[in-house]
A = this chain, B = another copy of it.
Amino acid sequence: MNTPLANDTFLRALRREPTAYTPIWLMRQAGRYLPEYNATRARAGSFLALCKTPELACEVTLQPLERFPLDAAILFSDILTVPDAMGLGLYFAEGEGPRFERPVRDEAAVMRLAAPDPAAELRYVTDAVRTIRAVLAGRVPLIGFSGSPWTLACYMVEGGGSADFRQVKTMLYRRPDLLARILEVNADAVAAYLNAQVEAGAQALMIFDSWGGALADGAYQQFSLAPMRRVLAALARERDEPLLDAAGRIVGTHKVRVPVIVFTKGGGLWLEDIAGIGCDAIGVDWTVNLARARERVGDRCAIQGNLDPMVLMAEPAQVRAEAVKVLDSFGAPRGGAGHVFNLGHGISQFTPPESVAALVEAVHDHSRRQRRNEASASSL
């Protein structure tokens, strides 16, 4: 915990400070496209066992960093740990997505909901954070995360994934009071969960609003954005980190801001709204033009994104060309802008690992070149 960071490029970009290059990490970077991940998962017996065993969660968190010079690690976990800890009974049916044994469908079920104590039911997550920080030993920062209150509510009410969100939207339009109650409990639960992750060592946070984009304009602001604002307001935004002297020796601690990224998939129309809820960065998917996003968001937030993960199905030369397009569309990050390169969605299990190698290299190389060109242009 006391090791200073060897590479803080990711945190600097989120704080919109100058960086030598554009940092990159990938959603689901520890995942099924890596043979070593599949081996650890097989050892664990199941995906949930992997999430709930801190040593194994740590092992898979580190795996992509051994292969690729990524600029951040992200806690290996599932976005549904919180409703699972509420007693809804998370399970994964073979070949299907997540399901809950006891979905929240009626008033009685809503009234029974309570925010879990992260120190008890979610202890395995904070244990994993502590273990990962120790093993990372300051190589790169560790990101903690949670699903957004609305996204958790989707799974809790639907009882699993959904194509049309019929159950949760029926509740939204028929009984908005019940949905509001769920979102209140979720917001408090998510805030406590994220604070526990920071206390355990998470150096940045990301809120995955995977299903915010399924909401109508107006409904999004009320049922997804407002609960996220509530979460952000309840977060401890600082943590103690080692303070170094000129020789790199630890001479004490100082308060460091814990930046928070909010990612509403399909939320490209609402960037101005998202920028107003107090997050440090906005995640954007590949439908968003980064130049326009940067104009719209201004210097209020950094931007994270937004390569289509399917680009990684192409040959390395094409992967590089598409990475350059994304970097060029953002442009050189000057004047208080910040860019973190990422995909616009989780990496596909069918991704060839050599595509990821080509991507990371292209992002680092081209973004250094952008800064050099910028510097030589401004020195003319």
Residues of chain A whose beta carbon lies under 8 Å from any beta carbon of chain B: 164-166, 169-170, 172-174, 213, 215-220, 266, 268-269, 286-289, 306-311, 313-315, 318, 322, 325, 329, 344, 348, 350
Q: Point out the residues of chain B lying under 8 angstroms from A172, CB to CB.
A: 310
The residue in chain B whose Cβ has the minimal distance to the Cβ of A174 is B314
Offer 16 A-B interface pairs, CB within 8 angstroms, sorted by A.
Answer: A164-B309, A164-B310, A165-B310, A166-B310, A166-B313, A170-B313, A173-B310, A173-B313, A173-B318, A173-B322, A174-B313, A174-B315, A217-B329, A266-B287, A269-B287, A269-B289
Q: How far is the CA of A269 from the CA of B166 in the complex (A)?
A: 25
Q: How far is the CB of A286 from chain B (nearest CB, A)?
A: 4
**Residues of B close to A287: CB separation below 8 A:** 213, 215-217, 220, 266, 269
| Pick from B215, B286, B348: contact of A166, CB under 8 Å | B348
A306 — which chain B residues lie within 8 A by C-beta?
216
Chain B, residue nearest A309 (CB): B164
A220 to B286, CA, bound (A): 10
Q: How far is the CA of A316 from the CA of B106 in the complex (A)?
A: 21
Nearest 9 pairs of A and B residues by beta carbon: A169-B310, A173-B314, A216-B286, A170-B313, A216-B308, A217-B289, A174-B314, A268-B269, A173-B311
Q: Which residues of B are found within 8 Å of A169, using beta-carbon distances?
A: 308, 310-311, 313
Query: Which chain B positions have C-beta within 8 A of A314?
Result: 170, 173-174
Give the distance in Å from the alpha carbon of A166 to the alpha carbon of B222 in the complex.
34
In the assembled complex, which residues on chain B have CB atoms less than 8 Å from the CB atom of A348? 164, 166
Task: Give the distance in Å from the alpha carbon of A307 to the alpha carbon of B169 in the complex.
Answer: 13
Which chain B positions have C-beta within 8 A of A325? 218
Q: Which residues of B contact A350 (CB under 8 A)?
A: 166
Q: How many copies does the complex hold?
A: 2
Q: What B residues does A307 contact at CB under 8 A?
A: 216
Known contacts A216-B308, A308-B169, A310-B169: does B266 contact A269 (CB below 8 Å)? no
The smallest C-beta distance from A137 to any residue of chain B, in angstroms, reads 36
Q: Which of A166, A169, A216 has the most CB of B within 10 A?
A: A216
- Residue among B217, B269, B311 making CB contact with A269, cutoff 8 Å: B269
Q: A173 to B220, alpha carbons, bound, how many Å?
A: 33
Chain B residues within 8 Å of A215, by CB? 286-287, 308
Q: Return A290 CB to nearest CB of chain B, in Å.
A: 8
Bound CA–CA A266/B318 (angstroms):
26
A172 CA to B170 CA, complexed, in Å: 38
Q: Which residues of B contact A218 (CB under 8 A)?
A: 289, 325, 329
Q: Which residues of B contact A166 (CB under 8 A)?
A: 310, 313, 348, 350
Known: A174-B315, A318-B173, A350-B166. A288 touches B269 (CB 8 A): yes
Q: Among A217, A287, A318, A329, find the residue whose CB has the most chain B CB atoms closer than 10 A.
A: A217
Tell me how far the C-beta of A322 lies from the nearest C-beta in chain B, rounded to whole angstroms: 7
Chain B residue nearest to A291 (CB atoms) is B217
Closest to A321 in B: B173
**A269 CA / B216 CA spacing, docked (Å):** 15
- A174-B315, A213-B287, A215-B308 given. 9 additional CB < 8 A pairs? A166-B348, A166-B350, A169-B308, A169-B311, A170-B314, A216-B306, A217-B286, A268-B268, A269-B288
